[in-house]
Amino acid sequence: MNNPTVPTDPIRIDLGIHGMTCASCVARAERALKKVPGVQEVAVNLATESARILVNPAEQIEARLKRAVRDAGYEPVAANAAIDAPTESTWAGFGPVALGAALSLPLMLPMLGNALGLHWMLPAWLQFALATPVQFYLGARFYKAGWHAARALSGNMDLLVAIGTSAGWALSVWLWLSVPANVTAHLYFEASAVVITLVLLGKWLEARAKRQTTSAIRALHALRPEVAHLLGLDGEVDVPIDEVLAGDELVVRPGERFAVDGVLLEGM
CB 16 within 8 A of CB 79: yes
Distance CA 16, CA 69 (A): 10
CB 80 within 8 A of CB 16: yes
Q: What is the DSSP string of 75-87?
A: EEE-TTHHHHSPP
Phi then psi for 263, rounded to 5 degrees?
-115, 135
Which residues, including other chains, have CB under 8 Å from residue 121's CB and lie 6 or more apart? 110, 184
Which residues, including other chains, have CB under 8 Å from residue 159's CB and lie 6 or more apart? 142, 145, 146, 149, 150
For the purposes of burial, counting CB atoms within 10 Å of the CB of 200, is it exposed (0-12), middle (13-18) or buried (19 or more)?
A: buried
The pTM assigned to this predicted structure is 0.74
- CA–CA distance from 34 to each of 42, 48, 56, 68, 72 (Å)? 7, 19, 12, 9, 12
CATH of 11-84, one of 3.40.190.10, 3.30.70.100, 3.40.50.11260, 3.90.76.10: 3.30.70.100
pLDDT 10s digit of each residue in the chain, 268 long? Answer: 455 555 568 899 999 998 887 788 888 899 999 999 999 999 998 877 889 999 998 888 999 999 999 888 888 988 766 555 566 677 888 999 999 999 999 999 888 777 777 778 899 999 999 999 999 999 999 998 888 888 877 778 889 999 999 999 999 999 999 988 777 788 999 999 999 999 999 999 988 888 887 777 777 777 778 788 888 877 888 888 878 888 888 888 887 877 788 888 887 6
Strand, helix or coil for residue 240:
strand
Q: Where in the chain is the domain with CATH 3.30.70.100?
A: 11-84
